Homo-oligomer: A and B are copies of this chain.
């Protein structure tokens, strides 16, 4: 007995020591995440043109340092030690996940030559800036050589990481672990099948007259609307910040510092309004992860489908409802006086005006799904069919015509509209639609537990919904995979049916074709 006890104690000492070492190592690694995120934030919100070279130098340098730390023998040994069953079994779930996930990343990174990694990082940084210019001038030729290089280097990158895997499958796994191409194919087919008849029905109805919304909306007031909406949905301004950028995004520097950007358009206040709610949803997720997970892999949510489900839940499931606006529509009118003359019902028609349009980020929630299916098909064409870069704009336009019945007049409203490919984020797009599919399921679970969402919203109790999401999803960070979250929250497997039901019910009522 005595002997056994000493052995157990000794094992515990070894474990604690190795865990402490790993935690310290991860603490150091996190500093590079922090600084590279801040460099990214600054580059996309404030840094001037002439500072680009110095900025690229800094990003290259710290990416290389991070790479060195993330692939060091010493780090590998710590992870290996903690993978031993007698130690691993005694770890808490967050540390188990950390060891598992970071061991996988370690193995992946070890297969990438350092020179390649550095050069890939630099290529992506320059490509992003080139995309920004190309988008502004709607000139694909400015971006094409960069995109071409990013595509070929991304192929090489994933081949290093996962040499035995289909490259696009490996990319999908980077953004939504455990949801493979077959699953996406199945769910997206389910959606396409359900959506096309719905769209046909909607297109038979007359479009609402929205000319009352036309006009010029003060940009500074739009910024105030963003602040008002962020506060309304539960964004904690003491744990975040806001800024402007070409393309809205959310960035997590730490649980106490989650930032959102927006892009204001003088003639289109709805764009910034829904970007605010969308990015706010992301940020609320990041701000509400249990702080006890700080320093573990749980804190980093890289399941982007799950992340998008939260932004899109706020943006669409809540934000495009009449009841969402009941408690705040007057405030909107105070900040942007034009809305005083627009009845709430007309506003609701405007934000649910389903019709094919060019720009994904401004699409209604129904045709949005087709925008994503388009991008998913494009990415398969790039990674599986190896379509040459110069053929991509035409392929985009053809698919647009096929899926949405419209054709872009220039690449600015076509292939250049999104930033994702400029920084190599191939495989990210499906996350948006997966997020919506999860949302259909979350909505069902929420209403089962709490009753009608409309009743809650109309009574100004949105904070109860935010709290429900915090409790059911946000606090756990990435402790559970999306599939596990669906099981825990909804008690069922991935299916597009609840989303389709939500669409049918909502639009039948709005357009009166039921």
On A, residues with C-beta under 8 Å from B are 27-28, 30-31, 34-35, 38-39, 41-42, 46-55, 57-58, 61-62, 220, 236-241, 243, 253-257
Contact = CB atoms under 8 A, between A and B. Distances in A.
A238 B35 contact: no
Contact of A48 (B39, B42, B238): B238
A62 B27 CA distance: 12
A384 to B, nearest CB: 39
Nearest to A46: B241
Contact of A256 (B27, B54, B61, B243): B54
A30 B38 CA distance: 17
A220 B257 CA distance: 26
B51 A256 contact: yes
Nearest to A243: B46
A259 to B, nearest CB: 8
Given A42-B38, A57-B27, A51 B254 contact: yes
Contacts of A238: 48-50
A253 B41 CA distance: 15
Contact of A257 (B30, B35, B51, B243): B51
Contacts of A61: 28, 31
| Interface SS of chain A | helix
Nearest to A287: B50
Contacts of A35: 35, 39, 58, 62
A170 to B, nearest CB: 31
Contacts of A28: 61
A25 to B, nearest CB: 12
B236 A54 contact: no
B38 A57 contact: no
A79 to B, nearest CB: 21
Contact of A34 (B46, B50, B58, B254): B58
Given A28-B61, A54-B257, A254-B54, A48 B237 contact: yes
- The list of the 10 closest CB pairs from A to B, nearest first, reads A51-B257, A50-B256, A54-B254, A50-B239, A31-B61, A51-B256, A34-B58, A49-B238, A46-B241, A31-B58
Contacts of A31: 57-58, 61-62
15 contacts: A28-B61, A34-B54, A38-B38, A38-B42, A47-B253, A48-B237, A48-B238, A48-B240, A48-B257, A49-B238, A49-B239, A51-B239, A51-B256, A52-B256, A54-B256
Pick from A35, A49, A52, A243 the residue with the most CB of B within 10 Å.
A35
A12 to B, nearest CB: 28
Contacts of A54: 34, 253-254, 256-257
Nearest to A53: B256
A52 B257 CA distance: 8
A236 B41 CA distance: 22
A61 B47 CA distance: 24
Contacts of A41: 42
Contacts of A57: 27, 30-31, 34
A366 to B, nearest CB: 36
Given A31-B61, A31-B62, A58-B34, A253 B51 contact: yes
A222 B61 CA distance: 39
Contacts of A257: 47-48, 50-51, 54-55
A399 B42 CA distance: 43
Nearest to A60: B31
Contacts of A53: 254, 256
